[in-house]
Amino acid sequence: MITKMKKLTFLVYHKEYEAFLNGVRDLGVVHVAEKQQGVADNTELQEHIRLSNRLQATEKMMLALKPAKPVVAETPGSAARGLEVLEEVEILQSEKNKLQTQLQAYQKEKAALEPWGNFEIEGLERLSEAGLSVGFYSCSEGNYDSTWEDTYNAMIINCVSSRIYFVTVTKVSQEIDLDVEQAKLPPYSLNRLQTLCDETVQALADNEEKLRLLAEKELPSLRAALKEVNGEMEFSKVMLNTESTVGEKLMLLQGWAPASRIPEISEWLDAQHVYYEVTSPEPGDNVPIQLNNKGFFAWFEPICKLYMLPKYNELDLTPFFAPFFMIFFGLCLGDSGYGLFLFLGATLYRIFAKNISATMKPVLSLIQILAASTFFCGMLTGTFFGFSLYDLNVPLFQEMKKHLFLDNNDLFQLSLILGAVQILFGMVLKAVNQAIQFGFKYAIATIGWIVLLISCGIGALLPEIMPLGGTVHLCILGVAAAMIFLFNSPGKNVFLNIGLGVWDSYNMATGLLGDVLSYVRLFALGLSGGILAGVFNSLAVGMSPDNVIAGPIVMVLIFVIGHSINIFMNVLGAMVHPMRLTFVEFFKNSGYEGGGKEYKPFKK
């Protein structure tokens, strides 16, 4: 069900406009209509967006640093303090980046100096003052020439991985002609570099501790600042969607609000002495969509939103696909034990979990209803964690088997029947939707197809009531054909209607068969899940050793791990494939267009 909306138009004196917008935001029910695309020319909004991005990045970083159980309980923070925290964190992050770069440089210099060992740079400087030059070289063992020891006073310092490190001691004036690599050493000794590395590592640890303390104590303030900045962003966007009139003296703003909230809004506007108009939506208006389903159907709204919201003048298909989706999920998972496990898990979480969010409660309710469907659908085959309950010689199970048990052939037929029923139901909704949006004559062709398909189905399944090709059936087919070919596109000439009817007949003949066969996946997924569950049970029994202690432990481990994998895979498939059947087969045959924009009121 889609909430009825009303269009609001405000005309406000420019000096009172900011105060008026603050009041609208406090009211929190008006969805501002967008008039302008893009925000590049709004400097204030751009600044808010950049600040929001910085705050979000900082919040993400602080969440990674914050301990799972904070030592200090969180208290509401202030936005002003949050901006200060942002500056402090960014300074610490900048220092951290510099320290990491410096540490990498020190580690690189240390690695270059390690083959030479530890020596004092001052000693080299004293030798240079005495007229002696010390050169540092390295080469492979095969390239080293022992005559260099006489010519240049070469001395081998180290040999690492077939590479020789040596020094030469010559007079400053003496030229050295060696075809080897000369080392460029840092201006520190090895001990000094190790000290610098240790000091930098300690500075990084201190920096990390400061960030951790900020994350532990100041995260609420940062969130308060982010909330305030996001509010300012929304305010700037509203300003961007405002039109100036009468020489920029009056500000014109349009928005939408639920019809049920109009008395409340009107009372507030009358008190503000603001000129306003309340009108109904017109064709072509981009009306925001607020789904307003209750109870059982409301739990399936997130599934509809995964596809797209309906347009304002369309039917909301959520209440119509919800029962089918529940049954399809149960058939795809198809194991009573898995259904019971999911139901108990969601129920226990609701009982023992603290501070369950408002958005999480409908999700838990959806899990419970899907788990209940799985439990009862599993009773059709009697599978319970891969075991067959109907193989047990228990009176209750044997009685249930007489009334509930379906073999693979029955499940295959059930899947096709469910597919045919949902597709026909979708076509009925398409006819209703066409009649509501465009008028009854636009729905006549769809009604003709429904009549044709239902009559053929009755003739095939119940020939004693209406045999295929009989007089009654032929009369019905004639009426259906007239509806299909003469009212395919009302208002156009009859020959064009007949041509379009022929084309639609071809699409219907080829498309319907493929659509119905798509529902075989309900049977296939349930069958494959049951087979995998049985395989894991066989592995648990067959691979356990003949040991009183180790045997049960190995059996339980294989059972738990195997069924955990199977539950994960099958739950994923049981969500994806019913969604595919809903979004493709059902939505297509119901003529669903979608494309609605979600109702998001301007509020704090």
In a shared domain, residues 138 and 159: yes
Domain range enclosing 155: 119-188
d(CA 136, CA 443): 93
In a shared domain, residues 127 and 86: no
In a shared domain, residues 543 and 474: no
d(CA 583, CA 325): 11
- The enclosing domain of 264 has a CATH number of 3.30.70.120
Phi, psi (deg, nearest 5) at residue 496? -65, -40
Residues 2, 238 contacting (CB under 8 angstroms): no
In a shared domain, residues 341 and 489: no
In a shared domain, residues 286 and 388: no
**594 domain residue, yes or no:** no
Can you say whether the dihedral through the CA atoms of 553, 558, 563, 564 is positive or negative? positive
DSSP code at position 172: T
Strand, coil or helix: 181: strand
**598 domain residue, yes or no:** no
In a shared domain, residues 204 and 157: no
CA 182 to chain centre: 57
Residues 547, 451 contacting (CB under 8 angstroms): no
In a shared domain, residues 103 and 209: yes
In a shared domain, residues 488 and 526: no
**145 domain residue, yes or no:** yes
**234 domain residue, yes or no:** no
Which residues of the chain, if any, have pLDDT below 70? 35-42, 67-77, 246, 491-495
Number of domains in the chain: 5
Strand, coil or helix: 585: helix
**597 domain residue, yes or no:** no
Q: What is the pLDDT of residue 162?
A: 87
**601 domain residue, yes or no:** no
In a shared domain, residues 66 and 214: yes
d(CA 568, CA 23): 49
Q: What is the pLDDT of residue 202?
A: 94
d(CA 412, CA 471): 33
In a shared domain, residues 313 and 420: yes
**599 domain residue, yes or no:** no
In total, the chain counts a number of residues equal to 604
**596 domain residue, yes or no:** no
Phi, psi (deg, nearest 5) at residue 526? -60, -40
Strands of 269-378 (E only): list them: 275-279
